[in-house]
Amino acid sequence: MRDRVHFGNIKQRQVSSVKDKRVFLLGNPSKTEALEAFRDVEEFTRQNATLAGSDVRNNVSDISPGDVDRIILLGGDGTLIGVARSLGENQVPIIGVNVGKLGFLAEFLVAELKQTFVQALGDDHLVSHRAMLEVSFARNGSSPDHSLAVNDCVIRAGQPFRMIDLDLSVNGAPMTRITGDGLIVCTPSGSTAHNLSAGGPIVQPGVDAIVITPLAPHSLTHKPLVVERSCTIDVVAESVNEGTTVILDGQVSYAMGPGDRVTVRRFHQDFLIVRNPLHPQWHHLTTKLHWGRLPNYDE
């Protein structure tokens, strides 16, 4: 009986503290489902926490870690990735509410958010730290442009779809020349995106590593490589096509010409995502990507 009373007291203190949590609500204006759910979640948040602000246009300019404890984001994985990248150094734990397709990073449904609201806002053990990449792109010796990638930096051959040659170095040491369709450099979070489709390894999100995966290499020896988080990866275009492109998270792109250099390293700040307490650790891998599913021998 004492245990039950004690647990009840703890739960009451959690509810009280969550009332003071400052929440900023974002939505994806291009998704009808997000717009429909936005007002519902906004009103629910206003009743159960402190609504620090809301913007259905996904504008993060008014958000800073000192002013906001959580971001509730209504959208899909692409929306979440774009917001995490836009936050830059000012990362705030994001509760992703999936109104998209897969929902691999955006783990919550609206009903699940309401059910677990106290935990999602009050339990910092649910906050997962995920690596980001800092990508520098220098056009043939010029001053580089800098950007971030949450999932990956991809170099793709592009039109006219001939094989390209990329010189790869790690920590300043030349490694190899890759001839093929391009190259993927990704975070553990991004290992289940383009990297997975290209035959790269699935990496647990908390692993301190960077994955390098050649795209359709014209060689039997160019296999995916996992390197330490501290590594700096340089890729120089030796021979490329007119349409060869550097693509960050499928959302930011640079045209790549001969002599251009891409430098990728671990960004000093992680992006923060809140895990759904209703789901076990490997839930999305096994239920959404069907990893390890046995064949149906009855068919």
d(CA 44, CA 103): 22
- Catalytic residue annotation: 77
Query: What is the SS3 assignment for 213?
Result: strand
Residue-wise DSSP of 22-83? EEEEEE-TT-HHHHHHHHHHHHHHHHHSEEEEEETT---TT--TTT-SEEEEEE-HHHHHHH
> Tokens standing for 217?
């290499």
For residue 220, what is the DSSP state?
S
Long-range contacts, stretch 61-64, CB < 8 angstroms, 24+ apart: 62/24, 63/24, 63/87, 63/90, 63/92, 64/90, 64/92
The b-or-e profile of 182-194 (16+ CB within 10 A means b, else e) is bbbbbbbbbbbbb
d(CA 32, CA 50): 26
Q: Pick the closest to residue 78 from 42, 113, 104 (CA basis).
A: 104
Residue found under tokens 């994955």:
211
